[in-house]
Amino acid sequence: MIPKEILKQVHRIEIQTRSLVDTLFAGEYHSAFKGRGMEFAEVRQYQQGDEVRNIDWNVTARAGAPFVKVFDEERELTVMLAVDASASGDFGSGQRMKGEVGVELSALLAFAAIKNNDRVGLLIFTDEPEVFIPPKKGRRHVLRVIRELLYFQPRKRGTSLRAALEYLDRLLHRRSVVFLISDFLDQGYERALQLVGRRHDLVAIALNDPRERQLLSVGLVSLYDAERGTQLLVDTGSSQLRRFFADRRREEEAGRAELFRQQGIDTISIDISRSYMEPLIQFFQARLRRSR
């Protein structure tokens, strides 16, 4: 049995995210992602400017005048949520942890997808794929996805983006929209990212906390690596150390941004201390402008 507190959280997230989808988000989502193809709708008489390749020669021959085929976009998509559940997601310097924001983002994207009659699937991973829910449609299925995200207890603590991406590459046989939600504190996933990015519409959603970019000067601090289980005593009063920490983080983020740019991977950067709606909507609007 699922605990009552989990069911209450599911209900709260459903109300919150569906409201955001209905008021702000659905039109942006619908416009930003194209369907998997085009389906035949009708034929009509040729008009100046029509694509010559769409002429229906059989109808044209019978009618004695040129007619063209008209197609409608086939809207149905497969949306995969690939969610990082490693131990680093348990960090947050404000009111929420990175993992909690990841769950809310997943719910928001899932409800936006089903509002557009798309199928939604889920992969939860740490340093190995731990949970896979095949893509399906409908509210009941999305609520199952959210329950799984809230109820999930990881077996491992580390991160392997490579393992998650290779797993998706093996399982997804039709082109899908893949939202990869992680803090990307990992290395060695470049080749797997390239493969999935070529075969699918891959969007990387990077979760960041301000305290991971800059150390405060508070004297001696014991830093704990949640994924490796190690501790390190550091003197945050050292300006040299704080500068080294900030520079290293900037280099890592710049390297990741350059990797995504080179491979044509769309990216959304989320600061978990702020609202995630603005960067999401900006992303979908920018994507729509590119497609015009």
Which residue bears the tokens 């009509």?
44
For residues 43 and 67, give the distance between their C-alpha atoms in angstroms, rounded to a whole number.
6
Which residue bears the tokens 């063209």?
68
Domain layout of the chain by residue ranges = 4-32+81-291, 37-74
- pLDDT of 24: 65
Residues 6+ apart with CB under 8 A from 43: 56, 59, 67, 68, 69, 70
- pLDDT of 75: 58
Contact call for residues 114 and 72 (beta carbons, < 8 A): no
DSSP state of 162: H
Architecture category of domain 4-32+81-291 in CATH: 3-Layer(aba) Sandwich (3.40)
Contact call for residues 119 and 110 (beta carbons, < 8 A): no
pLDDT in tens, the chain (292 residues): 667 787 888 888 888 888 888 876 767 777 787 655 555 557 888 887 777 878 889 888 988 999 888 765 555 789 999 999 999 999 998 889 999 999 999 999 999 999 888 999 999 999 999 999 999 999 999 999 999 999 999 999 999 999 999 999 999 988 899 999 999 999 999 999 999 999 999 999 999 999 888 888 999 988 888 888 889 899 999 999 999 999 999 999 999 999 999 999 999 999 999 999 999 989 988 887 876 6
Contact call for residues 175 and 200 (beta carbons, < 8 A): yes
pTM metric for this prediction: 0.84
The tokens of 41 are what? 């709708």
- pLDDT of 271: 96
For residues 292 and 286, give the distance between their C-alpha atoms in angstroms, rounded to a whole number.
10
Count of beta carbons in the 10 Å neighbourhood of residue 53: 7
Paired with 45 in beta bridges are 67
Q: Dihedral (C-alpha) 224, 226, 229, 233: value to the nearest 10 degrees? A: -10
Exposed, middle or buried, 37 (CB in 10 Å: 0-12/13-18/19+)? exposed
The tokens of 252 are what? 């890592």
HSE on the CB side for 99, CA within 13 Å? Answer: 18
- pLDDT of 183: 96
- pLDDT of 34: 63
